[in-house]
A and B are shown apart, each in its own frame.
Chain A
Amino acid sequence: MADREFDVVVVGAGPAGLTAACRAAECGKHVAMLDDNPLPGGQIWRGASKEAAAWMRRAERLGVEWMAGARVFDAPEPQRLAVETFEGECRIGYRSLILATGARERFLPFPGWTLPNVMGAGGLQALAKSGLPIAGKRVVIAGSGPLLLAVARYMKTHAADVRLIAEQASQGAVTRFALRCPPRKLLQAIGLRAGLVGIPYRTGCWPVSAQGKDRLESVTLRCGDRTWTEACDCLACGFGLIPNLELAELLGCRLSQSGVDVDEFQETSEAGIFAAGEATGIGGLELSLVEGEIAGCAAGGNTDGAKALFGARSSHQRFAKALEEAFALRAELRDLPRPETFVCRCEDVTFERVRACSNWREAKLHTRCGMGPCQGRICGGAVEFLLGWRVESVRPPVLPARVGSMSR
């Protein structure tokens, strides 16, 4: 594949990436937008989303070049990315870069979590949107956050038999969150709940183990002092979201507690590199859209356009804060894995072995935890919570790449 040069390159085609690409192109810049996924829209607009399609039409009218199925695996020199697609490899040059790499689910290990058909909450929804048949399937949805409700609604609409929604946060925390929500968000949530009549929503409830031979057959849950087992075909379980930071780290961008550290123009500690959306901290759709717009304006040189959006961003940031506080993970979840439970699914490393190390680096060196194909993307979020470790140390390739792609 031929190497290319652009004024602005946007990595990620979810809400933040789409708005960033459009805003930068409106400033007259030659813009490329790439994404690992075959379709634009990111995770929230996965599948045949009207919103994503509308933004894509706008991006295409503005001359944004869209590269699907393109994964950035290295940044071999300043202002250049190494990119691999199904067809081959190329280098993409930029003057400004916007990181809109989004978020993934946080998974916590418990006995049985590696069984087939134990999936993420967003994971099951993504797979269902990709065609996985769910009609008639008995589904238990567990973990934490408003995503559980959205997933339950999707499953119910598509004729799945949703048995239970298990939210680990307490009823008090969920109620306080509802009271702090802006009216529009609250109405959205009430609408979601109304669509879920007949499905139990239990707060202070979480899975403690999953059982099955070659695939999931049942899940055991705890709620207060009560423990019981539900037969099911699918367990959709995600404990909130964590930002995708690997590329930002590789580029040397400073991180904050919540994600990529950015200034008011969404610019990172590295000049000319911007970040927007969930990568800068989990904040939801509206915050991602406005951050993308600000980053796109700033990267395109439209400072006034960016400033005009600062007010909107602040109000969405307040919602993000409320979300984070309400769905903070309870300490009991640290007791979920047994000594023999695998924490690292790529290398099958048990909790016992990981816990015996004193930090992430030592665990990687001594146990191979985090050294498999996912490179710690799954176990990293778990040990961060379970052991309080800082999980870092990326190195290229940040995603597995073919030898031929790395040999130039």
Chain B
Amino acid sequence: MPDSVRLTVNGTGVEVPAGAMVSTAVALADVSAYRRSVSGEPRGPLCGMGICFECRVTIDGRAHCRSCQVVCRPGMEVRTDG
């Protein structure tokens, strides 16, 4: 198994340690808002365990994925709201 995985966040390449969650890739891409709230506030992860849904992003075209619960895979395309 390779030590790191390459994927993109909002089109920018990011390299994360193997086994890291998508939430890590978004943080490494220095994105401030994983999503925008219904009133437009920037939001990021809160619970870290799949409960709060604040860290949701679009992964390979699938919307509303909880980034803290999905392991990064090579070539994944991640999109955030901010």
With a cutoff of 8 Å between Cβ atoms, the chain B residues found around residue A120 in the complex are 46-48
Residues of B in contact, count (CB < 8 Å): 36
Quick check: is A347 within 8 A (CB to CB) of the other chain? Answer: yes
Interface hub of A107, A123, A214 (most chain B Cβ within 10 A): A123
Write the B51-75 contact mask toward A (1 if CB under 8 angstroms, else 0). Answer: 1111010000000100011110000
Q: Flag the segment in A130-138, A170-178, A190-198 that touches B.
A: A130-138
Q: Residue-by-residue, is A208-237 near B (CB-CB < 8 Å gives 1, otherwise 0)?
A: 000000110000000000000000000000
A126 at the interface (CB under 8 A from B): yes
A contact patch SS: loop
**Min CB distance, B52 to chain A, in Å?**
5
CA distance A374 to B56 in the complex (A): 11
A295 smallest CB distance to B (angstroms): 22
Find the residue from B21, B23, B42, B50 having the highest chain A CB count within 10 A: B50
If A104-B47, A107-B46, A345-B37 touch, does A374 touch B52 (CB 8 Å cutoff)?
yes
The interface stretch among A2-10, A111-119, A274-282, A321-329 is: A111-119
Known: A36-B69, A116-B32. A132 touches B44 (CB 8 A): no
**A317 within 8 Å of B (CB atoms):** no
Say yes or no: A130 contacts B23, CB within 8 Å.
yes
Contact status B24-A119, CB under 8 Å: no
Given A131-B16, A348-B39, A378-B51, does the pair A86, B70 have CB atoms closer than 8 Å? yes
Q: Is B6 an interface residue (CB 8 A)?
A: no
- Chain A residues with CB below 8 A from B42, complex form: 115-116, 214-215
- The smallest beta-carbon distance between A271 and chain B, in angstroms, is 29
Do B46 and A123 touch (CB < 8 A)? Answer: yes
Q: 4 new A-B pairs (CB below 8 Å) besides A122-B48, A374-B53? A: A116-B42, A133-B24, A133-B27, A378-B52
Interface residue ranges, B against A (CB under 8 Å): 16-17, 19-21, 23-24, 27-28, 32-34, 37-39, 41-54, 56, 64, 68-71, 82
